Structure 1
Amino acid sequence: MAKKVKQSKQKKEEPIILVTNDDSIGAPGIKALVEAVMDLGRIVVVAPDKPQSGMGHAITIGHPLRLQKVAFIDGVEAYTCNGTPVDCVKLAVDKILHRKPDICLSGINHGANHSINVIYSGTMSAAMEAAIESIPSAGFSLLDYSMEADFTAAKIYVRKITEQLLKRKLPKHLLFNVNIPALDAGLIKGIKVCRQAYAKYEEDFIERTDPHGRKYYWLTGDFLNFDKGKDTDVWALNNHYVSLVPVTFDLTDYALKKELETNWDL
């Protein structure tokens, strides 16, 4: 009897890891993420039922949200949601877990989320929503857009970082943006803690005409890095490191705030 009580207590104390993404429940990246950490706690997956890349921090207010339990990996509880990545996190906490998980992991995204991408990324917005709710979180991205991408090396670093998250006493609003170069594990030099590079997209809208003669536009553009620093995420990735950027959702410009308070006649 005592042994059963002890086992029950151990199971109760097992950390809960919420897993989500923006590429949808069917993306290989989320499966790779779960495979990397599934023995580290109770994994609960709540992910969009269709791709939601570029949705940023959007939430659904104009139509009903639905959750559906689905088959995923044996032994892993998983649900799809018809909303955004942020909706997935909100519903997971309120309607599935009925409590906050110990950590939230988002990804592994197919494609980069370095520098300015963090603003647009559904992957990072899901992790950020969790951090806003006092759930330490990390978003993971592999610099390979292909659905046939090799996640072998990415899984090694996902696990390494997740183990660190679970073993430490963390700030409740902790949020990591982790990008992994598309290289064999032996070619990756390690993890570099970075700042976000100053970079942006030089955008262009290609104009086309549909079969009905109506114009439509297709967004394209080139990624331009204006930041020559060697402490940035773009530099780290270009030099075969995994980049880890600690992110905050407080958008206050504190230097400008001080300037306004001191020198402006307001």
Structure 2
Amino acid sequence: MAKPLILVTNDDGITAPGLRSLIRFMSELGEVVVVAPDSPQSGMGHAITLDSTLYSTSLNIAPEDGAKQEYSCSGTPADCVKLGLQELLKRKPDICVSGINHGSNASINVIYSGTMSAAIEAGIEGVPAIGFSLCDYSWKADFEHAKPYIQQIVKQALHHQIPMGTVLNVNIPKNTDVGIKGIKVCRQAKANWKEKFDKRTNPMGKDYYWLTGEFELLDKGEDTDEWALANGYVSVVPTQFDLTAHHCIQQINTWNLNES
């Protein structure tokens, strides 16, 4: 049987160690084509490029990683997937994997994540997709302990097929002496960021701001991604991109919306 075609992308940029690790892991499972940003695009969410041109360059940064072909893209993670599916790949991939992100995309972070937005863009296009993140923000993070879990999840996704309209948000604990206990399928924890702006003034007298904040977990449940990660498990959250709050439709239909 032909090897599966795997589209690999990310938001940290084409030279990021997390991406290079994911390419190596996926090259053991199938034929890998990479389309990734030419510079870091963290926190871009689902932004796309509308008012400027996009550029793509064919390259091969590290042949030993095992990719059949690599392309850098001047746009966002969502742009990378759009361009890959519409222009660069010879056929529709069997799966798209995004990451490995340097840092958690659990709970509310999924909203801001370029890693997950790339996966969601693939899902919108009908391609099974998974976003992988490691809970370690270091550029020199150790990704090797994540390999068997990432490969197992991808193998199962290829075998069973991810339900249409759904992508998987996978977060992996950082490497510790304790190790990983296993994989848990979870719900997204309720959480937010308590944000503030650090206001400063430049030498020309112009004010500028740095966004800062603290993560606030509002959920004590033991079935969430945050609980799983805190207790040494890989978390897998099925994530849908239909944002309709279906449970509210009946209630809002009771409003007098058509009265003048």
Report the TM range for the smaller structure's normalisation.
over 0.9
Q: 1:63 aligns with which of 52, 57, 65?
A: 52
Residue 194 of structure 1 pairs with residue 186 of structure 2: yes
When structure 1 is superposed on structure 2, of 96-105 and 82-91 the one drifting more is 96-105
User: Which residue of structure 2 aligns with residue 3 of structure 1?
Assistant: none
Residue 22 of structure 1 pairs with residue 14 of structure 2: no
Residue 47 of structure 1 pairs with residue 36 of structure 2: yes
TM-score when scaled to structure 2? 0.94
Counterparts of 1:258 and 1:73 in 2: how far apart (Å)?
55
Q: 1:250 aligns with which of 221, 234, 242?
A: 242
C-alpha distance after superposition, 1:55-95 (max 9, x if no partner):
00000011100000111332411010000000000000111
Which SS does the other structure have where 1:95 is aligned? Answer: helix
User: Which residue of structure 1 aligns with residue 256 of structure 2?
Assistant: 265
C-alpha distance after superposition, 1:39-62 (max 9, x if no partner):
211100000000000000000011
Counterparts of 1:185 and 1:45 in 2: how far apart (Å)?
32
Which SS does the other structure have where 1:256 is aligned? Answer: helix
C-alpha distance after superposition, 1:146-178 (max 9, x if no partner):
011000112221111111112224423330000
When the two structures are aligned, how many residues end up with a matched partner? 254
Counterparts of 2:5 and 2:18 in 1: how far apart (Å)?
20
Structure 1 runs of 4+ aligned residues shifted over 4 Å read: none
Which SS does the other structure have where 1:116 is aligned? Answer: helix
User: Which residue of structure 1 aligns with residue 159 of structure 2?
Assistant: 167
Q: 2:207 aligns with which of 211, 215, 230?
A: 215
Within 5 Å, give how 1:1-266 maps onto structure 2: 10=1, 13-74=2-63, 75-76=66-67, 77-184=69-176, 187-261=179-253, 263-266=254-257
Counterparts of 2:14 and 2:149 in 1: how far apart (Å)?
21
Which SS does the other structure have where 2:33 is aligned? Answer: strand
Deviation at 1:185, TM superposition (A): 7.8
Contact kept? 2:166, 2:241, Cα under 8 Å: no
When structure 1 is superposed on structure 2, of 251-260 and 128-137 the one drifting more is 251-260
Amino acid at match of 1:66: Y
Amino acid at match of 1:71: N
When structure 1 is superposed on structure 2, of 98-107 and 119-128 the one drifting more is 98-107
Percent identity over paired residues: 56
When structure 1 is superposed on structure 2, of 248-257 and 162-171 the one drifting more is 162-171
Q: Which runs of 5+ in 1 are unaligned?
A: 1-9
Q: Which runs of 5+ in 2 are unaligned?
A: none
Deviation at 1:98, TM superposition (A): 4.2
